[in-house]
């Protein structure tokens, strides 16, 4: 099987129109296969996407305002420096994108690279091995966009205080969603190919949770200006640019990074994580 994978990896990207068409059909076939599996597991997927943001919204934007007598007395809102529900809307969408992307790639890879080596079935597909890794990224990006769409009404309608969201530039919002979703899939690919299958659960506690809480999800990046070392330190976290990108697109009245910086860093992290993930995928499959 390793020899077959090596042949696929060394196959030319294109030797003519027929080869390109064959690759596109094989890529679409893998994508449709994964889509069929997702359709059969749609209910667990929705539950996985909704549970964390639903509980967070219910506790911090519904229960606490009622307990404190109003949003103005909510300590969480005061910590956020404004309407916490509005700050939270893009942040929770970013979390949904990230968790969905990682869960759609890293967790299945842990199983496919396990003892049963289910990944070998995918390697039989008439595609270069790198293209199989990219298909996983694209499919996870689709799931991430669905997750963001599912979370949006929850974060918009559940909070007691009204959420002020306004989209003035739809192409920019769509571009941020696509880049953030692809980046989360690339992050999942990097994680799934960098750790042993039996250690994948540990990664969520050691890596995923810290980058979430330090990813400007529950507060704008500008709010860290009094902790300069932390404000500079979190810039290496790709989740920061997902949160800030959605914040600038959905709630432009709140403080946020410059859109050009957001898009540039999302492209940078997408390229970096894709390179790391594909290299790790080739190493695990061929090596």
105-139 pLDDT, tens digit each: 887 787 777 656 667 666 677 778 888 888 888 88
| pLDDT band (50, 70, 90) for residue 272 | very high
**For the chain, how many structural domains are there in total?**
1
Decide if pLDDT at 76 tops 90: no
Structure tokens at 46: 């929705």
What is the arithmetic mean of pLDDT over 130-157?
Answer: 85
| pLDDT band (50, 70, 90) for residue 265 | very high
Q: What is the mean pLDDT of the chain?
A: 78
Decide if pLDDT at 2 tops 70: no
In this prediction, residue 63 carries a pLDDT of 63
Q: Is 69 left (phi over 0), alpha (psi -120 to 50) or beta?
A: left
Decide if pLDDT at 182 tops 70: yes
Decide if pLDDT at 40 tops 80: no
Please choose, from the candidates 152, 172, 179, 144, the residue with its C-alpha nearest in 3D space to the C-alpha of residue 252. Answer: 172
Decide if pLDDT at 71 tops 60: no
Decide if pLDDT at 65 tops 70: no
What is the arithmetic mean of pLDDT over 60-88?
Answer: 57
In this prediction, residue 237 carries a pLDDT of 92
Task: Give me the percent of the chain exceeding a pLDDT of 70.
Answer: 77
What is the arithmetic mean of pLDDT over 135-148?
Answer: 88
- Cβ atoms of 281 and 193 closer than 8 Å: yes
Domain of 64 in residue numbering reads as 2-7+15-286
What is the arithmetic mean of pLDDT over 163-189?
Answer: 90
Residue with tokens 């099987």: 1
- Within 8 A by CB and 6+ apart from 274, the residues are 134, 137, 182, 186, 189
Contacts 24+ apart (CB under 8 A), 121-125: 122/30, 123/1, 123/4, 123/5, 123/8, 123/285, 124/4, 125/26, 125/29, 125/30
């Amino acid at each position: 099987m390793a020899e077959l994978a090596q042949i696929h990896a060394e196959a030319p990207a294109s030797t003519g129109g027929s080869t390109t068409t064959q690759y596109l059909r094989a890529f679409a076939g893998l994508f449709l296969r994964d889509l069929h599996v997702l359709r059969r597991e749609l209910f667990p997927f929705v539950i996985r996407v909704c549970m964390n943001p639903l509980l967070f919204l219910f506790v911090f934007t519904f229960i606490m305002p009622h307990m404190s007598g109003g949003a103005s007395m909510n300590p969480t809102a005061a910590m956020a420096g404004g309407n916490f529900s509005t700050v939270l809307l893009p942040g929770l969408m970013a979390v949904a994108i990230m968790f969905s992307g990682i869960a759609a790639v890293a967790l299945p890879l842990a199983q496919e690279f396990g003892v049963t080596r289910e990944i070998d079935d995918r390697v039989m597909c008439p595609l270069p091995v790198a293209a199989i890794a990219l298909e996983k990224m694209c499919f996870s990006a689709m799931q991430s966009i669905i997750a963001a769409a599912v979370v949006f009404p929850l974060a918009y309608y559940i909070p007691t205080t009204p959420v002020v969201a306004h989209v003035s530039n739809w192409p920019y919002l769509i571009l941020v969603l696509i880049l953030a979703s692809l980046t989360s899939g690339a992050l999942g690919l990097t994680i799934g190919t960098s750790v042993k299958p039996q250690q994948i659960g540990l990664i969520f506690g050691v890596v995923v949770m810290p980058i979430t809480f330090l990813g400007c999800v529950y507060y704008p990046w500008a709010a860290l200006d009094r902790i300069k070392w932390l404000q500079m330190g979190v810039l290496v976290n790709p989740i920061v640019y997902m949160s800030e990108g959605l914040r600038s697109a959905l709630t432009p009245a709140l403080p946020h990074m410059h859109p050009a910086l957001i898009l540039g860093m999302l492209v940078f992290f997408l390229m970096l994580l894709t390179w790391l993930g594909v290299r790790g995928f080739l190493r695990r499959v061929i090596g």
